[in-house]
Amino acid sequence: MAQGSYVEKSYERDTRYINDRITADGSGQWPVEPGRYRLVVSRACPWASRLVITRRLLGLEDAISMGVCGPTHDADSWTFDLDPGGLDPVLKIPRIKDAYEKREPGYPRGITVPAIVEVSSGKVVTNDFAPMELDLITQWRDFQRTGAPDLYPEALRHDMDPLMRRIYTEVNNGVYRCGFAGTQEAYDDAYQRLFTALDWLTDHLRTRRYLMGEHITVADIRLFTTLVRFDPVYHGHFKANRSKLSEMDVLWAYARDLFWTPGFGDTVNFTHIKQHYYRVHRDINPTGVVPGGPDLANWAAPHGREALGGSPFGNGSAPGPIAPGERVAAADNPFSGPDGLLVYPGRS
């Protein structure tokens, strides 16, 4: 998760990333090469979840392995406490900070996920999450599965790019500006900007099934990872409380439509999401108590978005089975079946 801090007036995110790129033409230090890199994530983190969804939709599991950190971290680093012995089974390190230190001893900036690590050297290649996501789409095409959707169509980029910038500044980062506002004035401004953007998105999605029209794109992935966390954490913990997502009819139906699309909801770990925010952000929640709610049963309510037409994958197809080591347990997502795929209540 990207770092940030309170400032006198408003929350500022630290965006000083390692911004190397992995390219198909080998023009840089890091060429596309299956098996060379490991994607390190936490399912708690919305920025990392974008990479988890994108990798699954594109079928890049065999080309880029994935390590999953636990949902909490201290001021020093995310750790691999979910793995036997507390070590990542591929990188053989207990914390992602070790890979940052391999890249730059005494690494001075935030220790964040997602990060891509070169397996052989143990060095972080990049933690710049937005280019990482687009590079999985555009640079790793030769290793994507048959039927992988085009998540960043060239013909739509002129309109997509400003839309995604608005989603990032006003919604993805907007909830953080609410939660970490250091003054009433800063909070009021952040609150107004967030719900102005959500109202605009409501109007935008009222007559189109997905943000760019008939098929999912990376823009939908970017919005989904905030929406799926909205009621469990942002509404209460971050004081983004004008309305719950479940009270915003259009966005709520849109979020449920995506949730039940293979590759979206089957990557969501609600337990990790709540544990991270409520236990790590002690400046906001000093007791570290994690709330029991909300009841997640309403995610199974019919969304009715099929009436708008379109199809999630266009000329492509849904992603296949989930590898055993990457499945979310039913204890962490009540709709997760034994194979990790979502099971709609009442259906086998």
Write a three-state SS string for 109-177: CCCCCCEEEECCCCEEEECCHHHHHHHHHHCCHHHCCCCCCCCCCHHHHHHHHHHHHHHHHHHHCHHHH
User: What is the biggest distance separating any 2 CA atoms in the chain, rounded to whole angstroms?
Assistant: 55
Residues annotated as catalytic are 45, 176
- State the Cα torsion 296-301-303-306 to the nearest 10°: 120
- Contact by Cβ (8 Å): 149, 316: yes
SS3 assignment, position 342 = strand
Q: Which domains does the chain have, with CATH numbers?
A: 3-143 (3.40.30.10), 154-326 (1.20.1050.10)
pLDDT (average), residues 224-235: 98
In a 3-state reduction of DSSP, which class is residue 38?
strand
SS3 call for 78: strand
DSSP structural state of residue 283:
T
Residue 29: the pLDDT is 86
In total, the chain counts a number of residues equal to: 348
Instruction: Encode pLDDT of 32-58 as tens digits.
Output: 999 999 999 999 999 999 999 999 999
For residue 126, the cross-strand partners are 19, 116
Structure confidence by residue, pLDDT tens digits, 236-271: 999 999 999 999 999 999 999 999 999 999 999 999
The SS3 call for residue 325 is: helix
Residue 217 pLDDT: 98
Higher pLDDT, 13 or 127: 127
- Other Cβ atoms within 10 Å of 335 Cβ, number: 21
Give me the pLDDT at residue 197, please: 98
Q: What is the pLDDT of residue 347?
A: 63
Instruction: Please report the pLDDT score of residue 5 as a whole number.
Output: 46
Q: Answer whether residue 299 shows pLDDT above 60.
A: yes
Query: Cis (ω within 30 of 0) for the bond into 114?
Result: yes
pLDDT at 1 over 60: no
pLDDT in tens, 82-108: 999 999 999 999 999 999 999 999 999
